[in-house]
Chains A and B, each alone.
Chain A
Amino acid sequence: MTVTTAGPDPVPDRAAGEPAVVVESVSRRFVRRRGPFRPARVVDALDGVSLTVPRGARFGIVGESGSGKTTLMKIIAGLDAPTSGRVTVAGTDVTGRSGRQLDDLRRRLQVVFQDPMGSLDPRMRIGQIVAEPLQAQGRPGVREAVDRALRQVGLDPAIAGRYPHQFSGGQRQRISIARAVAPDPEILIADEAVSALDVTVRATILELLETIAAERSLTLIFVSHDLSVIRRVCDRVAVLRAGHLVEAGPTEQVWSHPQDAYTRGLLAAVPTLDRALAAARQRAGGAGGTGVAGVAGGTAPGRAGVAAGEPAGAPARQRAGGDPGAGSGS
């Protein structure tokens, strides 16, 4: 079951330019060789996935772990080639290209990798790491840009001289983000970019991304497990499962009327603070009470009111300033 957004009804508001990313029935098959003398085993990480990311969209991808999100990101970024299918970024086909042919793509697109430590060269200082895309693209004012990017993600530019292993997980992730935003990309792919951040920093980073997106019509492709983050940030969302696209559409629509059972399951499983608190209170209050979390908290004193709303809550307020979420058929 493949649901495409590049289907019958084009996005009305964005007719102006071609979509930022078009993925056409992309499949990626991994052949796992198990030693030279044993038959290979096949894993279909992606299987006929099609989707369209309009220019300026904030596109979320959710899905269970192992569903192929990272694989899809790598293919869009030209880091991996699909076994079949086609990926078009800003009008140019990126599948099966390499080196010089991808220069243009590199100028437009940046990636925040899922694994911050692994994506930071252990022998490079932070300053060099963040400066790398700027230098590679021959941008002027590298130093200032690096300082600014570090500051934007809440790090002191003075740490530029240190090495990745001297940082905490969240700090590394922020370095990774700083590297991606420093060159002002048109398209930003963020693969679990905020998973290791505390809520405060996360809020800042999300705000940063939103601001950039609003100001320079950045196309954001945001991969996350955290549905509340997706909901906050993205205007459209696609749901992946086991390499298949099970559902896609405007975020609120998916939220309020999930079509697929899997999506419904996902939404139901989102933990919320007040529910959790209620449960905790019950555990604490009822001496020796069973630690079973109730479904919804009754009264939530104190700050509970500020906690995340229900799954089918009102449209996010912050979107008012940005482009209105486009409707989509499904």
Chain B
Amino acid sequence: MAWQIVRRLLIFVGSVLVASLAVFWLLSGIGDPARVQLGTGATEEGVRQLREQMGLNRPFFTRYLEWLGGTLHGDFGSSYISHAAIGPQLADRLSVTLWLVLGAMVLSVVVALPLGMLAALWHRRWAGTLISGITQLGVAVPAFLVGILLIALFAVRLGWLPSGSYVVPAQDPGGFLEHMILPWLSLGLVQAAVLTRYVRTAVLDQMGQDYLRTARAKGLTPWQALLRHGLRNAAIPVLTVLGVQLVTILVGAVVVEQVFVIPGIGQWLVDSVGNQDLLTVQAIVITLVAIALAVSFVVDVLYTLVDPRLRHG
């Protein structure tokens, strides 16, 4: 167990190094933070001076090592642009996005599991085809459109829910829920559509299996058999997809964050990339890498929980 943890840690450190080097290298080739900071009012002289001040003229590796040194001290540094410390902001933004993403994932799972199973169970009936069709449309509808439509209906027309903005759950749990319902819906429904497709496939893959017949011989309805037996066996691909979704949506939520004015990490990443704010991008990417590794660890553990055959001897 101890070795497991050490190994994971080593992997993590290695991944962070690789990712940070990649980000450093990619961004340094794309544009000039000094120029971005000075904007359209810039003079060549001004840009040169600022580059000097920001230390951008030093060699690539010097800058990289300096950053690394800071990070090793647990310090993400301060933004090139805002000069504010990155760490605390990262924590805030990340928590916002995590709420958004986790809520949406829960919603999508709750919607997708039954729908996917129904679509599989009825795969030759019109109802199954209908579910497949609707979910496919769901995949095709961009989340921002869903968002705008939801706002137009529930916020503007009916006035039931606020049209956006974020409320810290610790301060006002009710308000938090009220504000998150629409974002969760618009992100979650699209994800649900995607997930439904995987559930359908995974469940169909299980439908011909003998153990389902055994389950039915016990007196389970086809539905129960699928629910208790099929689903568990379909869980491996579904879990995988969930893991992948969880990581990719973190950034992918940017559009929903935009439409619902949620100060999350996706939006911040886009801004920071736009501002050439290298240190901020660096911090965000490293956080994402950490999350990805954590998620894949959790998914691996879940694999072995749902499918004992994967516990290698």
Contacts and interface: CB of A to CB of B under 8 A. Distances in A.
Direct contact between the two chains A and B in their complex (CB within 8 A): yes
Interface residues of B, number: 10
A209 to B, nearest CB: 28
B73 interface: no
A33 B208 contact: no
B313 A117 contact: no
A33 B312 contact: yes
B313 A35 contact: no
Contacts of B208: 122, 165
B313 A31 contact: yes
Interface in B111-147: none
Interface in B203-252: 208, 210
Contacts of A30: 313
A117 B210 contact: yes
Given A37-B1, A117-B210, A165-B208, A32 B313 contact: yes
A228 to B, nearest CB: 29
Interface in A6-63: 29-37
Contacts of A35: 304-305, 311
Contacts of A36: 1, 4, 301, 304
Contacts of B312: 33
A73 B28 CA distance: 60
Nearest to A35: B305
B116 to A, nearest CB: 21
Contacts of A32: 311, 313
A268 to B, nearest CB: 33
Nearest to A163: B208
Nearest to A30: B313
5 smallest A-B Cβ distances: which pairs?
Answer: A33-B311, A30-B313, A31-B313, A36-B301, A165-B208
Interface of A: 29-37, 117, 122, 165
Interface of B: 1, 4, 208, 210, 301, 304-305, 311-313
9 contacts: A29-B313, A31-B313, A33-B304, A33-B312, A34-B311, A35-B304, A35-B311, A36-B301, A36-B304
Given A29-B313, A33-B312, 15 more contacts: A30-B313, A31-B313, A32-B311, A32-B313, A33-B304, A33-B311, A33-B313, A35-B304, A35-B305, A36-B1, A36-B4, A36-B301, A37-B1, A122-B208, A165-B208
